[in-house]
Amino acid sequence: MIEVLKFFTCGNVDDGKSTLIGRLLYDSGAISSDVIEAISKRGNIPPNASIDLALITDGLKAEREQGITIDVAYKYFSTKKRKFILVDTPGHFQYTRNMITGASGCDLGVIVIDVRSGLTEQTKRHIIISSILEIPHLVVCVNKMDLVNWSQETFEKLNKEIIEFFKKVDRHEITVIPISAYLGDNVVNKSQNMPWYKGPTVMELLENIEIEYEDFSKSRFQVQYIIKPNVSKGLHDYRGYAGRVLSGKFEVGDNVIILPQEYFSQIVKIESNLKEVNKVEAPYNCIIHLKDDIDVSRGTYIVKPSQEPIISNEFTAYVFWMDEKKKLSKGDRFILMHGSFSTKCLIKDVLYKIDINTMDKIESNEILVNEIGKVTIKTSDYVCYDYYSDYRWTGCFILVNENTNNTVAGGIFLNE
């Protein structure tokens, strides 16, 4: 089975992110001939390409200029070694919330910087957000090396500065690669202009880096829909719970606990793709049938004994505020949605917000758009969850304005 690597890209304006994406796709043969033909006569064509590489992602820019909001662009491609999901996130400060949305859940992040600009506040912001989101691997592409005459000294100085800053804010891995996206150096093919660089190209790293799969030893199933008996079709005894296995696996005969009610039962049948199966594992959807007729509702968790998640109606969390019209303040009320579960909640306290340029904690009683803050939340009903640092998929939630139904924040459960 071919592995799938999901990674995001971001960068300052004019640092060459679009050209890098275009170069990756072009030199790896992931662009169809009709796309190449459509844009071959436009733009600034590099010496070793038949198209302006930046135009490959130009549709996103054009639609933004027309006032159409497209937060994140996705591109799917593959090589002989691996399949890829590329998430192109905006790098502007005012799109910080969009970058967070796109980057969450990725296995790796690619940050593009101009070698002449160095480590800017924007780059620091991207590194800090990646750290908060627990992105396992980060790649910083020092672009436009051709404009500094392929200087090893210039690169080494910037490389040291990047690594020293990264060590202050993150415990994961970082790789810094000198490139020229315009000319193709160290993107897919090794650079002949920088023989002093002995590390991998961007594509070599993407193809070979180890994907850090989460520890799925603890089984998690969340009910999305209750399929009740349909007497008219003769299904008098049919009652199934449809949902997704978020973590681990389940088998017919497993003893399980239904949470937060803490009922005990046993799995007697599992259906997947309209067939009965003996077992199912993450991340597949299925229908689970229980031995006992239990009052199960949407959002209920089914887990194995001794593998219970945290159950609480009060917790601390980082929230990423997205509402341009309103500030987040103590006493605000929302709908908290955690997968298919929803409940009313209250912001009990705003503890502080984070300076996403320095990672400093700033005392504040409100959080503004594009800011990240630590809050205490109290919910009307008990929530089953994991800490984000342990299980990313069951450790996050969103806040919804109960009057407008707009999503106003994303959040992650903290163990501190």
The domain spans of the chain are: 4-208, 220-303, 310-413
Assess contact for 289 and 267: CB atoms under 8 A: yes
> 145 or 1: which carries more pLDDT confidence?
145
Residue 411 has a pLDDT of 94
Task: Reply yes or no on whether the pLDDT at 224 is more than 60.
Answer: yes
Q: Please give the share of the chain, as a percent, with pLDDT higher than 70.
A: 86
pLDDT of residue 60: 46
Quote the CA–CA distance of 93 and 102 in Å, as a whole number: 15
pLDDT of residue 294: 86
CATH class name, domain 310-413: mainly beta
Specify the residue for token string 């194995």.
304
Q: Please report the pLDDT score of residue 121 as a whole number.
A: 83
In angstroms, how far is CA 169 from the centroid of its own chain?
19
Q: Residue 229: is the preceding peptide bond cis (ω within 30°)?
A: no
- H helix or E strand, kind and range, residue 266: strand 263-272
Name 202's Cβ contacts closer than 8 Å, sequence gap at least 6. Answer: 20, 24, 110, 139, 141, 177, 179, 186, 187, 188
Alpha-carbon distance values, 113 to 20, 26, 176 (Å): 11, 21, 11
Q: Please check whether the two domains, 4-208 and 310-413, share a CATH topology.
A: no
pLDDT tens digits, 14-28: 888 888 988 888 888
pLDDT tens digits for range 178-187: 999 999 999 9
Place 50 in a pLDDT band, splitting at 50, 70 and 90: low
Q: Which helix (H) or strand (E) element contains residue 402? A: none
Strands 108-114 and 137-143 come out as: parallel
Question: What confidence tens digit (pLDDT) does each residue in 81-125 have?
Answer: 899 999 988 766 666 777 887 888 899 999 999 999 999 888 888
Q: Find, among 52, 59, 109, 49, the residue nearest to 85 by Cα.
A: 109
Residue 288's identity, in one-letter code, is I
CA-to-CA dists, residue 201 to 28, 148, 204, 325, angstroms: 12, 19, 5, 43
359-391: pLDDT as tens digits:
789 999 999 988 899 999 999 999 999 999 888
Residue 39's φ and ψ, nearest 5 degrees, are: -115, 10
Torsion of CA 341, 383, 282, 411, to 10 degrees: 80
Stronger pLDDT, 75 or 267, i.e. the higher one = 267
Q: Residue 253 CA to chain centroid, in angstroms?
A: 34
Closest CA to 111 of 153, 161, 162: 162
Among 53-67, 194-208, 228-242, 376-390, which stretch is predicted with the lowest mean pLDDT? 53-67
pLDDT at 232 over 80: no
Lookup: tokens for 310: 């945290």
Residue with tokens 């007729």: 293
Determine the pLDDT at residue 35: 61
Q: 389: number of CA atoms within 13 Å, CB side?
A: 10
Torsion of CA 99, 102, 106, 111, to 10 degrees: -40
Predicted pLDDT at 386: 94
Residue of 257, 241, 242, 410 lying closest to 338 (CA atoms)? 410
Q: Tokens standing for 244?
A: 């997704």
pLDDT at 359: 79
Q: What is the DSSP string of 224-277?
A: EEEE--BGGGTBTT--EEEEEEEESEEETT-EEEEETTTEEEEEEEEEETTEEE
Q: Which of 15-29, 132-146, 224-238 has the highest mean pLDDT?
A: 132-146
CATH 3.30.460.80 fits 4-208, yes or no: no
Predicted TM-score (pTM) of this structure:
0.82
Residue 193 near residue 179, CB atoms below 8 Å? no
Q: Are 236 and 291 in contact (CB under 8 A)?
A: no
What's the mean per-residue pLDDT of the chain? Answer: 87
pLDDT of 63 reads: 41
Query: Binning pLDDT at 50, 70 and 90, where does residue 170 land?
Result: confident
- For domain 220-303, give the CATH number: 2.40.30.10
What pLDDT is stored for residue 176 in this prediction?
97
User: What is the model's pLDDT at position 65?
Assistant: 47
Report the distance separating Cα 181 and Cα 241, nearest Å.
Answer: 50
